[in-house]
Structure 1
């Protein structure tokens, strides 16, 4: 009995997701430059033709992963509550995402910074221009409500701080004191100190060392 159109769509989507998951694993393990489409094909357990059917080049795979990373950041648009509650949500949500999705965070940082792939990031960011602007404006509205003299600078500073934290966490996942940094960030913005820790590993403050 022939498969229905909906079943075929579901199978195609599953194959596409399997390829993307494999690409993320391979890029995270080998680095984007060293990884190949053949590596992705082998990891996904599919034919090369199927990979190239969905993603013509390795760059297109990277672009899709970056696209999803930007969509993840866009989750802050769903935050509700007072300005302080939304700001606390951004801080906590970023730390949670950084700690629980380290492979995609490492890949995004790498692709943004490498000269050969930075243009891919710029292209994806440009394609998502409306979404990125909405994210920026959502953060700026928080600082406007809090009475900041320059909400745009505050937005850029917050994002730069959280992105720096993400970089350090990606480099030192076993020794980065997430909870201590979280509490310090809350305090720096005059937010109530969290009473419940995030459900992620957080070693005590000592020294950042790779293991």
Structure 2
């Protein structure tokens, strides 16, 4: 009996997701430049033709992964509550996402910074210009409500701070004191002290060391 249209669509989507998951693993293990499409097809256990059907080349695979990363950080657009509550939610949400998706974070950081792949990131960012602008404006509106003299500068500083924290979490996952840093960030913005720790591993403050 022939498969239904919905069944075929579901199978195609599963194949596409398997390829993307394999690409993330391979890029994380070997580095983007050293990884090949053959590595991805072998890890995904699919034919090269199937990979080429969805992604014409390695650059498109990287672009899709970066596209999803940008979508992830755009989740702040749905936040509700007072300016302080939204700011606290951005800080906590960013730390939670970073802790839960460290392989994605490492890859995104690498692709953004490497000269060979920075143009890919720039293209993806340009394609999502409207959504990125909405995210920036959402953060700026929070600081405007809090009475900041320069909301745009505050938005850039917050994003730079959280991205820097994410880099350290990606490099030192076993020794980065997430909870202590979180509470320091809350205090730096005069937010109420969190009533409970985030539900993620967080070592005591000592020294950052790779393990």
TM-score computed with the length of structure 1 as normaliser? 0.99
Cα offset for 1:99?
A: 0.6
Match of 1:60 in 2: 60
Matched, 1:200 2:203: no
Cα offset for 1:195?
A: 1.6
Moved over 4 A (4+): none
Match of 1:107 in 2: 107
Match of 1:39 in 2: 39
User: Does 105-114 or 31-40 show the bigger shift?
Assistant: 31-40
Distance in 2 between residues matched to 1:28 and 1:185, nearest whole Å: 29
Q: How does 1:127-142 map onto structure 2 within 5 Å?
A: 127-142=127-142
Q: How does 1:145-184 map onto structure 2 within 5 Å?
A: 145-184=145-184
Match of 2:209 in 1: 209
Distance in 2 between residues matched to 1:119 and 1:101, nearest whole Å: 23
Which consecutive unaligned segments of at least 5 residues does structure 2 have? Answer: none
TM-score computed with the length of structure 2 as normaliser? 0.99
Alpha-carbon RMSD across the aligned residues, in angstroms, is 0.4
Which consecutive unaligned segments of at least 5 residues does structure 1 have? Answer: none
- Number of aligned positions between the proteins: 211
Distance in 2 between residues matched to 1:86 and 1:142, nearest whole Å: 7
